[in-house]
Structure 1
Amino acid sequence: MSFEIKTLHRKLISGLATVLPAATNPDELPAVSEVKDEYIKKLADSKEDYKVDSCENKFYGINFNTDKPNYLVGVRTETEIADLSSFEIPAGDYAEFTTDKKSRLELDQFIGGAYAEIMSSNDYNINGNFNIEIIDCLVENNDKEFKVLIPITNK
């Protein structure tokens, strides 16, 4: 599995967030994927409303941990929006992985493989407890590729 290094500027993502079920083994991953699918569908059903506040034409999914695993789906905004959850993506370097898979379970397995790739790298370490999904293909139901970006630092 190969990846490209991307340098991102700070981004604010605003949208819908939920706590995910904790997956402590691979058999529990389908339950996590099911919740993510549900929230992507909610975003897709209201995508025109979200586009009004968006400052770019992309949809995002953010996997992040506070005291529990969380998932936020939304759009990039300039400021926080009342009644929406927000996540600030810090500026920095990210490993970008791309796939044409569309099944949520396959995508979550792909993300796991992306983490394994970075952890086995001689050059990079993981630098955060979150990752960024570009989910245009799932929200718009089109042929665009799914991308996941994982924050990294040099070893």
Structure 2
Amino acid sequence: MATHMRELIEYHGVNRCAYGKLPYFKQINRDFTFCVSMQKPDIEQIVKVWVKPDIVQQKIVVTPIGTSLEGQRVTGYKVMVMGDIMYKVEYVVLEASQSLHTAHVTIPFCGDIVLPEEFNTNSIVITSVSVEDIYSEPMDTRCIYNNITMMLIADLC
């Protein structure tokens, strides 16, 4: 996992590896607002953000065959991928001491990947998740807006 800087915020957890040929994948965005608990001091500036996704469950579901309203070819099978994003932020407090504090939360995510028409229900489906981008911005002294872009990948064995 790589570290990169954007607007003085250091982001950890972004995958910078080039993808090879990915026949079964889907990009998803998870945006959320995170507010620090009342026990924590106010936010002056975000310093670092850590993101680590984890797949908790996957399930093969049967779908209709055809074309969706969005124009996607639906083949009759999808794999639903459910997981959690472990999110942690380090920030400078809005006090004269200018000390650093951290806060964390777990955010759920869910997405689906269309499987091929010739999918065999006895096949083993191995799913993975990769973070492509993270964006965090303070909304006020208590809350942060976040957007995490992830790639869900399915490999058939």
Q: TM-score normalised to the size of structure 1?
A: 0.30
Q: Which has the higher strand share?
A: 2
Who wins on radius of gyration, i.e. which is larger? 2
Q: Which has the higher helix share?
A: 1
Q: TM-score normalised to the size of structure 2?
A: 0.29
